[in-house]
Amino acid sequence: MLSLIIPCFNEEAALPIFFQKILQVVQEMGCGYELIFINDGSTDRTLKLLEDFSVQDPDHRFYLSFSRNFGKEAAIYAGFCNAHGDYIAVIDADMQDPPSLLPQMLSLLESGEYDSVATRRVNRSGEPPVRSWFARQFYRLINKISDADIVDGARDFRLMRREVVEAILAMGESNRFSKGIFGWVGFRTCWLPYENKERVAGESKWSFTKLFRYAVDGIISFSQVPCSIASWFGVVMTICAFLFMLFVIVRKLLFGDPVTGWASLVCIIIFIGGLQLFCLGIIGQYIAKTYMETKQRPHYIIAKTNMEGAIKIR
């Protein structure tokens, strides 16, 4: 059986198109299936659409409606917790993840060669160039400084065996950076490249600032390298200070000591002060994350669902 997990946040415009396409694809595939829609605190008619859609075939169509917006990562987590299939896929509702790839993904898994089939977009058409540039730099950086293998252009659109999903669920952290988590659990992954598609309707929920924060969160979740930045600054500054000391002593011996250097002194003090605050900030980020993790708050809360026995809080 195949479980499809579809996170939806204000997708009233895209859902009717998605319903039609996904039904066509699963019927063509002819295997057992369940569609699990997660309504992530939408403020438009998304929930109404999902209810109406599920009523027509309550054995195959389910919705889990959150008590508020918890974010896509939480929606994916809730889907994984409540999926019953042997094969489990995550797919966006906006048609940017083409459902027509599913049959090919399934046959790749069934061949037994892979445990997980992931997709990656080969171009970033329809995206502002500045954003693409930052995205590329982010992937280069995070792959250098963390041991999670994060592929540039990787989408969350994936089909996985149950074992992989169980491994993912065993990672109970509340700061969930899916791209890193998928890579971290390992397993044999097949990458399917495809041309970037623009969403059929509605708007992306990602502004540039949101993406930037997401990138910082990703780095903090999967790397400790920023923590050692302070030590490296410390080493470099000590060496500089030592060289400067030699310079001052030599100058004193050769030319006497005219009391100058007020301006440079102030610059140095401000510079070091800035560096110290910067490093404190990095440590602060890690402490804040640790603080949130220790609270062990639930990842999501389901307020309404048509799935019997669904795990409502976890």
**Of Mg ion, ligand UDP, none, which one sits near residue 161, judging by CB under 5 to 8 A according to partner kind?**
none
Partners of residue 5 on adjacent β-strands? 36, 90
Could you say which residues in the range 190-219 bind Mg ion, by CB under 5 A? 199
Q: What's the burial of 127, exposed, middle or buried (CB within 10 Å: 0-12/13-18/19+)?
A: middle
HEC readout, the chain: CEEEEEEECCCCCCHHHHHHHHHHHHHHHCCCEEEEEEECCCCCCHHHHHHHHHHCCCCCEEEEEECCCCCHHHHHHHHHHHCCCCEEEECCCCCCCCHHHHHHHHHHHHCCCCCEEEEEECCCCCCCHHHHHHHHHHHHHHHHHCCCCCCCCEEEEEEEEHHHHHHHHHCCCCCCCHHHHHHHCCCCEEEEEECCCCCCCCCCCCCHHHHHHHHHHHHHHHCCHHHHHHHHHHHHHHHHHHHHHHHHHHHHHHHCCCCCCHHHHHHHHHHHHHHHHHHHHHHHHHHHHHHHHHHCCCCCEEEEECCCCCCCEC
Number of C-alpha atoms within 13 angstroms, CB side, residue 109?
23
Q: Is 8 in the site for ligand UDP (CB under 6 A)?
A: yes
List the one residue from 67, 100, 125, 204 that touches ligand UDP (CB under 6 A). Answer: 204
Binding-residue pattern over the window 263 to 292 for ligand UDP, x denoting contact by CB under 6 A: ------------------------------
Number of Cβ within a 10 Å radius of residue 179: 21
List the one residue from 94, 102, 221, 222 that touches Mg ion (CB under 5 A). Answer: 94
Q: Compute the distance between CA of residue 25 and CA of residue 3 in angstroms, rounded to an integer.
A: 13
List the one residue from 16, 69, 175, 285 that touches ligand UDP (CB under 6 A). Answer: 69
**Of Mg ion, ligand UDP, none, which one sits near residue 69, judging by CB under 5 to 8 A according to partner kind?**
ligand UDP
List the one residue from 5, 22, 75, 88 that touches ligand UDP (CB under 6 A). Answer: 75
List the one residue from 206, 208, 244, 247 that touches ligand UDP (CB under 6 A). Answer: 206
Nearer residue to ligand UDP within complex by CB, 111 or 209: 209
**Shortest approach of Mg ion to residue 228 CB, angstroms?**
36
Q: Is 93 in the site for ligand UDP (CB under 6 A)?
A: yes
Nearer residue to Mg ion within complex by CB, 79 or 85: 79
Q: Compute the distance between CA of residue 305 and CA of residue 312 in angstroms, rounded to an integer.
A: 9
List the one residue from 61, 63, 71, 79 that touches ligand UDP (CB under 6 A). Answer: 71
List the one residue from 53, 62, 89, 92 that touches ligand UDP (CB under 6 A). Answer: 92
Q: Is 125 in the site for ligand UDP (CB under 6 A)?
A: no
Binding-residue pattern over the window 14 to 53 for ligand UDP, x denoting contact by CB under 6 A: --------------------------x-------------
**Of Mg ion, ligand UDP, none, which one sits near residue 77, judging by CB under 5 to 8 A according to partner kind?**
none
Q: Is 115 in the site for Mg ion (CB under 5 A)?
A: no
Q: Is 65 in the site for Mg ion (CB under 5 A)?
A: no
Q: Is 96 in the site for Mg ion (CB under 5 A)?
A: yes
Tokens encoding 118: 């992931």
Q: Is 78 in the site for ligand UDP (CB under 6 A)?
A: no
**Shortest approach of Mg ion to residue 98 CB, angstroms?**
12
Binding site for ligand UDP (CB under 6 A): 7-9, 11, 40, 69, 71-72, 75, 92-94, 96, 199, 204-206
